[in-house]
Structure 1
Amino acid sequence: MADSPFRFFDPVEPITITRGHLPHWDQAGATYFITWRTLDSLPLPVWNKLLSLRAAWLRTYKINPQAPDWRWHFEHLPKVLRLEFARLFSMNLDMELDSCHGACLLKQPEFARIVADSLHHFDGDRYVLGDFIVMPNHVHLLVGGMARNAMLAQMKSWKRWTSRELNRHVGRKGRFWQDEGFDHLVRSEAAFEKFRRYIAGNSVKAKLRPGEYLHWARPN
């Protein structure tokens, strides 16, 4: 991908780690795989189940999930264990999202288009937009070329604008999206292509019919 506008994780360059339910890594100009979801995408019992799964895993490695500094201990585990943790939590989260909990308003093409238009709006200006898919209750996308910390700020901007527009169309007020999204720094061209395949196949895995999702692939 010599002519690609996407850059991948460089272990030599500085990184910034911010906190939330999971650690988020930022690096200037890097490429990210991002997921965010609607407020009703995971019923409370399901979310609590995922948290219990996470807690059980942490206890296996002598980390108290209730301790304020559990993330510090987690980050000092061997890399292979941290990757195992991410795969386990992400796999179960994705499975629940693809079960289409909640009202799934984004199944309606006109609502999915609002999200898609917001992603395209600053493409080539603030960022380089990669492939994305708008699912009935969540969004997956690849995005690159972001300045340090700008990715999380841009995600908040997308969510704020689309929340206002979607609420206006359905005649309601209040939060539309969960506050926090999940993001992964793309480490290599192979990982980038893996995420592209995941995005392209997400609707099939969720057994959706044409018109119940919106998939866009950046032309090569």
Structure 2
Amino acid sequence: MPFHHNERLSFQPFDEWGEVRIYYNGFLPHWRQDGCTYFVTFRLADSVPEGVLEAWRCEREQWLRTRDIEVNDDNWIGTFRRLSRNDRKLFERYFVSKLFQTLDEAHGSCVLRDNQLAEIVMKALLHFHTERLECGDAVVMPNHVHALMTPYPGYELEDVLHSIKSYTSNQIHARLKTKGTLWMSETHDHIVRDGEELLRIQNYIRVNPDKARLPDGQYLLHTAEYDLQL
């Protein structure tokens, strides 16, 4: 079932000189700047095997130690922030690429392979469109979700995502008659820097099902167009 917005969405590039808020909640940094568009990924709690997570932890510790950062140090995040911007980008890109590759391997229960359950998630994403945010391209894969989101003033991205995760978790558990943690608590989000990057991310979202070799009926795709000045 395809979804598409007819209206063209606005896009504000990242302002390198503007105010930026950075916080850490787990593995990766989260950057915030008012008015920006974010490439968001959230995943099911069982989507990455524990053995893979442990291997990532070891690799992360080794990467940081080569830069004189000990993760057992309570202030390691503060030390990490003092690395060069290039090093921080390399860190994020490397580990995010490993995450995306692993997600496309479709580990875990993959309950979102069920189109009716995937539709619960997609409709929740679009429910807040024009109310709390603009929702651009989005895809619901068997064990994860990618989406472009632009929160409106007064709404924080993490608060909107919490609402989406909470609602969809309750609805899916009710359908499956299950309990427990459905979604991984941490969400990956990346501020879209400019129009060219936006187009690359739109293409990534749109071809993700083909890249993961998913047949029709095992994913839901929503597309949108942006008003870009390239």
TM class by smaller structure = over 0.9
1:213 maps to a residue whose letter is: Y
Aligned partner of 1:180 among 176, 182, 186:
186
Q: Once the two structures are superposed, what CA deviation does each residue of 1:23-61 show, in whole Å capped at 9, x if it has no partner?
A: 211111111001000011012111111111211111111
Deviation at 1:129, TM superposition (A): 0.6
In 1, Cα distance between the equivalents of 2:66 and 2:142?
35
Asked if the contact 1:130/1:218 (under 8 Å) is kept, the reply is: yes
1:19 corresponds to: 24
1:139 corresponds to: 145
In 1, Cα distance between the equivalents of 2:96 and 2:173?
28
Deviation at 1:147, TM superposition (A): 3.2
2:14 maps to a residue whose letter is: F
Q: Which runs of 4+ in 1 moved over 3 A?
A: 145-149
In 1, Cα distance between the equivalents of 2:118 and 2:160?
19
Q: Count residues with an aligned counterpart.
A: 218
2:33 maps to a residue whose letter is: Q
> Is 1:127–2:146 an aligned residue pair?
no
> Is 1:217–2:228 an aligned residue pair?
no
1:93 corresponds to: 99
Asked if the contact 2:151/2:157 (under 8 Å) is kept, the reply is: no
Deviation at 1:116, TM superposition (A): 0.3
In 1, Cα distance between the equivalents of 2:102 and 2:72?
24
1:33 maps to a residue whose letter is: F
Asked if the contact 2:134/2:150 (under 8 Å) is kept, the reply is: yes
Q: Once the two structures are superposed, what CA deviation does each residue of 1:92-137 show, in whole Å capped at 9, x if it has no partner?
A: 1111111111110101110110000001101011101110010100
Q: Which moved more, 1:75-84 or 1:156-165?
A: 75-84
- Give the secondary-structure state (helix, strand or coil) at the position aligned to 1:41: coil
In 2, Cα distance between the equivalents of 1:187 and 1:12?
12
Return the structure number with greater strand share. Answer: 2
TM-score between both structures, scaled by the size of structure 2: 0.90
> Is 1:199–2:201 an aligned residue pair?
no
Asked if the contact 2:38/2:190 (under 8 Å) is kept, the reply is: yes
In 2, Cα distance between the equivalents of 1:148 and 1:41?
32
Which runs of 5 or more residues in structure 2 are unaligned? 1-7
Q: Once the two structures are superposed, what CA deviation does each residue of 1:51-104 show, in whole Å capped at 9, x if it has no partner?
A: 112111111111112212112111111111111111110011111111111110
Which runs of 5 or more residues in structure 1 are unaligned? none
In 1, Cα distance between the equivalents of 2:52 and 2:155?
30
In 1, Cα distance between the equivalents of 2:169 and 2:9?
32
In 1, Cα distance between the equivalents of 2:196 and 2:225?
18
2:62 corresponds to: 56
- Give the secondary-structure state (helix, strand or coil) at the position aligned to 1:130: strand
